[in-house]
Structure 1
Amino acid sequence: MDFPLDISFRNMDPSPAVEARIREKAAKLERLYNRIVGCTVVVEAPHRHQHKGKLYNVHIDISVPGKDLVVDRAKPQDHAHEDVYLAVRDAFNAAGRRLEDHARRMRGDVKTHPSQKDDVAPPAEQ
């Protein structure tokens, strides 16, 4: 992996196993788009006072030249996210999709629509 990866944990103890899984998933992102400048991953456990099960939140910030791509699962609705590994998997899957979209735009594979200002003709003079 050629880019710096910053991993932090909030409201939970750091886990070497989760950190290894994150490093593995981040290395796969580089195969999708090799111009990644940096990546920050925050794994957050919910506060202990919640009545529902623990739904983990994974926030990924990927820096590419000229832009930051952010994946934030702020309020996970899926109870599968009670497992931190599934939350990490889903977040990195979303990051991969966002990175592929960005790569398509940079290659020019995505058509852009003309702006509304270009479509409106100036009023005719009388």
Structure 2
Amino acid sequence: MEIPLQIAFHKAEKSDWAEAEIRARVEKLQEYYGRIIGCRVTVDQRAQNVEGTMPPVVRIEISLPGAPPLVVAYEPDRLQKRFQNPDLGNAINDAFEIAERQLARVKEAREDRDKGEPHDSQKQFLGQVAQIYPNEDHGFLITKEGGTLYFHRNAMLQGDFDKLRVGDEVHYVEEIGDTGPLATKVRVASAR
């Protein structure tokens, strides 16, 4: 991390075992997602009930590059619904489990974004004009497998649709349209 881990206790007694547990859990987050810039963890005893069983709130703020901070914070009643007698250990564990899930979603979204779609040049094929109907604004290509694909005048990216002739070589991208496969992003293979 570029910014050292910050741990603060507000209205809660500072505990060596709690601080050690928080440091261990933050290290685990770093191992899972190495792009964490900084992390701040606050243990806050906001209120106490008559029995003195109100668990503290553990707030985690994780700084990531190019994104708003990832924040985990919730009210103590969440722990009281999950545990009969929740304590600081339950609060730390629960908060870091939520942080791990949120970080997993961020990591997955970034990996999906980085993968992206393959470039058109990787999906491009060489074919030939099989039939051309200039008055009807469409034609058909012979594919590399020997099948035919419909293409529309508007699919032409390079070359003049009106000058196409049967047998002309073209590069195209095959996509699925409303009625089945069709050729898009059609380019004349060689200048005439």
Name the TM-score, length of structure 2 as normaliser.
0.52
Aligned partner of 1:82: which letter?
P
1:101 aligns with 2:105: yes
Q: Is the 8 A contact 2:57 2:74 kept in 1?
A: yes
Aligned pairs (5 A) from 1:79-118 = 79=80, 80=83, 82-108=86-112
Separation in structure 2 between the aligned mates of residue 93 and residue 16 of structure 1, nearest angstrom: 21
Match of 2:41 in 1: 41
Match of 1:6 in 2: 6
Separation in structure 2 between the aligned mates of residue 86 and residue 2 of structure 1, nearest angstrom: 29
Residue aligned with 2:77, SS? coil
Q: Is the 8 A contact 1:56 1:76 kept in 2?
A: no
Equivalences, count: 108
Gaps of 5+ in 1: 110-126
Separation in structure 2 between the aligned mates of residue 13 and residue 72 of structure 1, nearest angstrom: 19
Aligned partner of 1:47: which letter?
A
> How well do the aligned residues superpose, as a CA RMSD in angstroms?
1.9
Aligned partner of 1:108: which letter?
D
Aligned partner of 2:50: which letter?
H
* CA deviations over 1:78-119 (Å, ceiling 9, x no partner): 32373101110010010000001000111117xxxxxxxxxx
Separation in structure 1 between the aligned mates of residue 5 and residue 56 of structure 2, nearest angstrom: 20
Match of 2:75 in 1: 74
Aligned partner of 1:72: which letter?
A
Greater relative contact order (Cα < 8 A, sep 6+):
1
Gaps of 5+ in 2: 114-192
Higher helix fraction (1 or 2): 1
Displacement of 1:38 in angstroms is 0.1
Displacement of 1:55 in angstroms is 1.9
Match of 1:28 in 2: 28
1:18 aligns with 2:18: yes
- Show structure 1 runs of 4+ deviating over 4 A: none
* CA deviations over 1:28-52 (Å, ceiling 9, x no partner): 001211000000000111324x236
Displacement of 1:71 in angstroms is 0.6
Query: Taking every aligned residue pair, what percent have the same amino acid on both sides?
Result: 33
